[in-house]
Structure 1
């Protein structure tokens, strides 16, 4: 055993004298390998970037590291004239996707108006981006933002400084492409995702000439519930104060509510109510102008892509609404563009809704028209009766048919509308323009409308808390090809829109009107201010095939909520060239079909009715609702010499 031990010791001792590779001798090899590997990795990465660029699958240089936001910086690099803009829009995609500055005037466009909003921003980041842009767009005097509840989520967890200004400046102002940013802010996952989904990403990253992002959806997305944070409203307050200090005007518009989202995620309206109040509180004490889109702008769900974005064709009207409302609230802006329209109904100034009726004399210049005996004969439905009361000056309204005829026979208005010039053809109420029974050849759309005025001679009440309620609004057209009435507009499926307009529809723009929804599809609109009316219509025109229709019938229920409210109302219809036609001078796209008599509103529901036919034809083919045997309450409607009153003063 001792011999074996000696041999082992000699073997170990023999190893001590041999040369070995020690760690410090291998360091140069590690360094060479690292450098070589780095060069290879950078070369491969560079080759990948060049290849993706060659195949047009490379995302914008990552200034922020978020592909959608980086696309905005790339747009700013391509559009250097943004630094001279006087009006800028900043916010999240709620601002980016919902403003169409094409509708602004030539003067506004010449001054410079651009949309800088990217996507995904929360309110703290919107404030940060606004400060960055104002630091470089020295001419800017107005900041416009559109806000939805989702803009007020995540301020506590989303980093405010989501990009470095010095890096953004270097990229935007340099002549190069910005290749260095791919190495500085390397995100291979984002690069690969963009390359694999380039067509989808690029389709939703389009910019119009003003920087807005057109978006059209094919399926309705009702989204999710929103939970705004109090800290986000603080950020809005700080933004407003900062702009006040700079002498920059801030216009805040709240985004309208999608009914499908509300029904699913906010059935009690708590989120909507709190959002509106929190916005108002955040801006109180500042000079900011608040345009209330939550209660002031109503469109059907088909107008939305999701709860935060409108379909792009709808944004022009929303932009007009925001712009004109801001002007009415005192904003320093140039008037909106030449297409005078601030709603899907496209009502403009210059009396474009009623102008085709101005200066026309009533059809019965020689006096009021009575319901004649011939109207009472040959009735296809026995219950369609028109019993004349004790005096031929009275009509007993005991059936819907009699009610409809009395509302469309000149002379049976229950009162007159304050502010309507006596020379206007519709001063007395019922009026049907010649040759407007049917739509013009090639027209494919129609819309109903209603108008509420203070009653002539009633005391002027400067402030009334009550509302005017509207229910069961429906529009029927008569298909001559099928010999039947078909409903094309129904309040159960459509929202209402509207504004307050000068009583004689002079050139002044309309002002914002309160408009809210109640149970059972009832809509409540605001009372007309002194000198104005309350004008409204279903959003979404009724459609039909060209040359298939030769008549229209409209009806809707109305009442007031306060017995001290003394108002009159009437209803009517306009033919439209197609569902999306714009108003053009001369009413070539929207000739009026006519309107009904003035009906005095009360706290009890009253049904207002209009039809474009003459009475005898209506008897032969009454709409379904006129086939009912009786009205809820029998009343008497008296003939008045309205034409004499309305002729007593010439049109100005």
Structure 2
């Protein structure tokens, strides 16, 4: 009886594995297979899969941040302004500032050619760092998957989440196709995520910034110190905010002013730079499809202003060499 029981148990397990992988192969054959769930976030996982499939060649500018940075950087426009730049958009959606700096440090291990790092951020990214796990994915698993060419199939078992797999399988095809999908998962050659929809969300979606979390600024400080030690230029640009959002949540600009002041306090002593992309007023109200996200057509003037302000590629290597020779902090 025990022997038959164990044979039946092993047979059931083997059959379950076989059925699961048959489902995966079927989803893959029809274009509906989501990436392995290394981060349990479809847009983060899809970005990792994109970096695996299309590795960049020796970038010298790295963009980091959340969905703001992912969707608000037009590499072609930046290169027209600063032709010497080879950008990589290393931003992932839904990240707090500490998670963005974690992802930035992880990416920089693989791209020693990067001399400048720019974070494009909303004040919302600096609200809740202390409550969010910094490592948004396991760096060792992500390293093996993205850079070492390890087979993706074992990760579907290690990060087994059938409910999420089913939900993502139902929408991944449309999101990869782009078009008028509200949250497309498409990437340009710089790994940015163009949002080309003409629609708008039903609401501004994002509420007020109620407080800043010191843990976010501590993470930025650690990252800036790391960049200084490595001789890299570190920059932060704020994103434009919907005028209606500002009228409702920050009518006197006090929150934006406080955000800029706190970022400058962190970066200035370390040779970092801040640009107030909201105060620059390079886009109008029609540019937005929610409280903080721009349509792709409006990303061009924002990216051009960003490039003109920071003059990517103009400071390094001289500035980087000077920073590298400065006393360690």
Q: TM-score, normalised by structure 2?
A: 0.86
Q: Is the 8 A contact 2:88 2:191 kept in 1?
A: yes
Structure 1 gaps of 5+ residues are 1-25, 334-652
Cα 1:266–1:27 change in 2 (3 A) is: farther
Matched, 1:141 2:124: no
SS of structure 2 residue aligned to 1:80:
coil
Q: CA deviation at 1:290?
A: 1.0
SS of structure 1 residue aligned to 2:311:
helix
What are the equivalent positions in structure 2 for 1:94-133 lying under 5 Å apart? 94-105=68-79, 112-133=86-107
SS of structure 2 residue aligned to 1:143:
strand
Q: CA deviation at 1:176?
A: 5.8
Of 19, 28, 35 in structure 2, the residue corresponding to residue 60 of structure 1 is 35
SS of structure 2 residue aligned to 1:131:
helix
Distance 2:145 2:124 in 1: 30
Distance 1:268 1:78 in 2: 46
Matched, 1:81 2:56: yes
Of 320, 325, 343 in structure 1, the residue corresponding to residue 304 of structure 2 is 320
Report Cα offsets for 1:161-206 as digits up to 9, x if no partner: 1222221222123446511111111111111111122344322111
What are the equivalent positions in structure 2 for 1:364-513 lying under 5 Å apart? none
Distance 1:106 1:281 in 2: 32
Q: CA deviation at 1:298?
A: 4.3
Of 197, 219, 222 in structure 1, the residue corresponding to residue 204 of structure 2 is 222
Q: Give the equivalent residue in structure 1 for 2:292.
A: 308
Distance 1:267 1:89 in 2: 30
Q: Give the equivalent residue in structure 1 for 2:189.
A: 209
Q: Give the equivalent residue in structure 2 for 1:33.
A: 8
Distance 1:231 1:30 in 2: 54
Q: Is the 8 A contact 1:252 1:291 kept in 2?
A: yes
What are the equivalent positions in structure 2 for 1:346-365 lying under 5 Å apart? none
Report Cα offsets for 1:512-560 as digits up to 9, x if no partner: xxxxxxxxxxxxxxxxxxxxxxxxxxxxxxxxxxxxxxxxxxxxxxxxx
Is the radius of gyration larger for structure 1 or structure 2?
1
Matched, 1:49 2:24: yes
Q: CA deviation at 1:327?
A: 2.8
Q: Is the 8 A contact 2:242 2:285 kept in 1?
A: yes
Q: Is the 8 A contact 1:289 1:331 kept in 2?
A: no
Report Cα offsets for 1:200-254 as digits up to 9, x if no partner: 4322111011111111341154222223322111111111111011101112111
Q: Is the 8 A contact 2:81 2:304 kept in 1?
A: no
Distance 2:222 2:110 in 1: 20
Q: CA deviation at 1:142?
A: 0.6
SS of structure 2 residue aligned to 1:235:
helix
Q: Give the equivalent residue in structure 2 for 1:258.
A: 242
Cα 1:275–1:42 change in 2 (3 A) is: same
Of 140, 146, 152 in structure 2, the residue corresponding to residue 172 of structure 1 is 146
Larger helix percent? 2
Matched, 1:297 2:272: no
Q: Is the 8 A contact 2:43 2:93 kept in 1?
A: yes
SS of structure 2 residue aligned to 1:205:
coil
Distance 2:223 2:200 in 1: 35
What are the equivalent positions in structure 2 for 1:629-640 lying under 5 Å apart? none
Q: Give the equivalent residue in structure 2 for 1:157.
A: 131
Distance 1:50 1:100 in 2: 35
Distance 1:318 1:255 in 2: 9
Structure 2 gaps of 5+ residues are 179-183, 318-329
Distance 1:156 1:210 in 2: 31
Distance 1:219 1:77 in 2: 32
Of 225, 239, 243 in structure 1, the residue corresponding to residue 227 of structure 2 is 243
Larger strand percent? 1
Distance 2:124 2:80 in 1: 33
Of 155, 167, 182 in structure 1, the residue corresponding to residue 156 of structure 2 is 182
Distance 2:260 2:111 in 1: 31
Cα 1:261–1:148 change in 2 (3 A) is: same
Q: Is the 8 A contact 2:175 2:186 kept in 1?
A: no
SS of structure 2 residue aligned to 1:244:
helix
Report the aligned-residue RMSD.
Answer: 2.2
Report Cα offsets for 1:475-532 as digits up to 9, x if no partner: xxxxxxxxxxxxxxxxxxxxxxxxxxxxxxxxxxxxxxxxxxxxxxxxxxxxxxxxxx
Q: Is the 8 A contact 1:257 1:298 kept in 2?
A: no
SS of structure 1 residue aligned to 2:134:
coil
SS of structure 1 residue aligned to 2:189:
coil
Q: Give the equivalent residue in structure 2 for 1:498.
A: none
Cα 1:107–1:150 change in 2 (3 A) is: closer
Matched, 1:194 2:168: yes
